[in-house]
Structure 1
């Protein structure tokens, strides 16, 4: 699994040493964070902190993935030893496309906020069109490219740990495609907005993302070792390109880990919508191509919890005129209760770790139950 290690190490180094260079560039151009006046007053000290750091996470991820493949290709070309793993796969490339595409949408949103010094970037309909366009292209292509006896990168079936009996294909070819595209859009929008809402405190979303993407490294490696191509049997995984998907997950985890050095409290840079939308897109993409769609909600349980706090707050206020929390998302509720920012971040990281542990436990338990 040297390709997984190479990918993670390269991405981490690029993010770790590239972020301070990016910070200097942003400072010279005056691209600082705009802080809303209706947020916690303690956040006003963060006004002017460079943002759009997600661009570094994306660049580091792409560097990690492609450098790992390049190194293995060169090693194989020179004939030193054959360790495999140099072939690019469509599943991995689609996840990278989804990540980068949503990152571009987030970048435009961040740039407008910074250039016009306002909390509103892209209009809601503009942002929706951008996210939907990228998601639709990903979903349609994920059902293409069957080759060499492998299935397509994605499946029209709804999946938990593997595909369930709920299959959109039952609605026919066209109907199944439409339903799958809609389902994929729901997952992508949910994941990207979930990470976006979590990104409210220094290092919170970044640290949680490291854990979640780390879990997908383990899932990808396990699915590869227990694939129906290598180990046929009743409990094998009919997942295409599982090992290369693990390479992508390790690149994202490494990039986020390197970025966390500069994003931890007190943050020298924020990831902005550029990073949160990209990370959420990558998470949803990994869930779709590894056929663990519903498991994603458990692995990313912290993102789900914080998103639910916003839904509950808005729903309660509209129906009763009363607020359940002092402020939503949930992390700001605890800020107004007097908790220190670092305390909230660490405790929320613990929750994220517990969710990841539960998700991995369910993933392994399902495989054991099939024996």
Structure 2
């Protein structure tokens, strides 16, 4: 409700202050979107924080170090994105922070996350698929720290690349957050199998992000009245990476966020081939623009990509539950 109502008033405030999104001129169909209010991620990040805090008002649900660290990391990534968005709108161009400055900001946030997790929690420093010991590659703390920072950097940028059509990134992330609600709650109910510290609070974090993004999507659905900007994209990416790291499902994350991986790989292939041969794989990257330029209406691309995201998360949950059965938990 905070996101649904708050985004509505944020749109009015941003419009009154002429804080609109510059549009890349290479996509002709998007020229009409120029000037649409951006930085909408502010609304759902604040809403997620409000939801997380409100959930702890009832007795029995306590604040945990892991939950607070993850929420702080989401806020930190959102702040980096907000700086990028503000430079774009204040200078009226489609380029905000330089790539180096943005990565430096995300690096600071990532370092804060790994230091806090290693010093204040009993996080498992393993590379794992569905639980800490599956496959459970045990690595030193410093190696896990580098792994965590790479995962944070990769996921935030993947969501950012996906945020190119009305509601695409927001709608796709909803499926991913639903998955982490299930994973967190399942780990909470089966502590002997998963040994996830503060698993219930992590499910609450995922639920808070789900609520925030859903309220925002009401206004972001095509035709969008507001864009999330880097503020929202980096916050969503940080949330997904942190939830994967804290629930020991890092290797399952590419399945949960398959669409984000697809978008990123399409850019990598496009750039690599163009630099080597001067030719392109796609009409335009990320791949959602390829289908747009091929004649698909924007809504068709969005809905079909949502379907892929939904199928991927269904597969991820199936794999997660199949592994649980393999542990003998049902016995």
For the aligned pair, the TM-score class normalised by the smaller chain equals over 0.9
In the TM superposition, what is the alpha-carbon distance from 1:98 to its structure 2 partner? 1.0
**Which residue of structure 1 aligns with residue 3 of structure 2?**
15
**Which residue of structure 2 aligns with residue 214 of structure 1?**
178
Deviations along 1:242-272, one digit per CA (max 9) or x if unpaired, are: 0110001000001111110000000000000
Larger of the two Rg values belongs to structure:
1
**Which residue of structure 2 aligns with residue 293 of structure 1?**
250
Aligned-residue CA RMSD (Å):
0.9
Matched, 1:119 2:94: yes
Matched, 1:106 2:94: no
**Which residue of structure 1 aligns with residue 323 of structure 2?**
366
Q: 1:95 aligns with which of 70, 73, 76?
A: 70
**Which residue of structure 2 aligns with residue 157 of structure 1?**
126
Structure 2 CA distance for aligned equivalents of residues 128 and 250 of structure 1: 28
In the TM superposition, what is the alpha-carbon distance from 1:155 to its structure 2 partner? 2.0
Structure 2 CA distance for aligned equivalents of residues 181 and 118 of structure 1: 35
TM-score, length-normalised on structure 1? 0.87
- Secondary structure of the 2:321 match is helix
Q: Is there any run of 5+ residues in structure 1 with no aligned partner, and where?
A: 1-12, 77-83, 147-151, 170-175, 229-235
Q: 2:15 aligns with which of 24, 27, 33?
A: 27
Deviations along 1:127-186, one digit per CA (max 9) or x if unpaired, are: 11100000011011111224xxxxx1x2221111112342222xxxxxx32x22211111
TM-score, length-normalised on structure 2? 0.97
**Which residue of structure 2 aligns with residue 50 of structure 1?**
37
Q: 1:168 aligns with which of 139, 163, 173?
A: 139
Structure-to-structure mapping, 1:125-164, within 5 angstroms: 125-146=100-121, 152=122, 154-163=123-132, 164=135
Structure-to-structure mapping, 1:68-87, within 5 angstroms: 68-70=55-57, 72=58, 76=59, 84-85=60-61, 87=62
**Which residue of structure 2 aligns with residue 36 of structure 1?**
24
Structure 2 CA distance for aligned equivalents of residues 161 and 318 of structure 1: 38
- Secondary structure of the 1:143 match is helix
**Which residue of structure 2 aligns with residue 65 of structure 1?**
52
Say how many residue pairs are matched: 326
**Which residue of structure 2 aligns with residue 231 of structure 1?**
none
In the TM superposition, what is the alpha-carbon distance from 1:329 to its structure 2 partner? 0.1
Q: Is the contact made by 1:204 and 1:345 (CA closer than 8 Å) also made in structure 2?
A: yes
In the TM superposition, what is the alpha-carbon distance from 1:279 to its structure 2 partner? 0.3
Q: Is the contact made by 1:36 and 1:119 (CA closer than 8 Å) also made in structure 2?
A: yes
Q: Is the contact made by 1:143 and 1:155 (CA closer than 8 Å) also made in structure 2?
A: no
Q: 2:187 aligns with which of 195, 202, 223?
A: 223
In the TM superposition, what is the alpha-carbon distance from 1:359 to its structure 2 partner? 0.5
Q: Is there any run of 5+ residues in structure 2 with no aligned partner, and where?
A: none
Structure 2 CA distance for aligned equivalents of residues 319 and 140 of structure 1: 40
Structure 2 CA distance for aligned equivalents of residues 368 and 194 of structure 1: 32
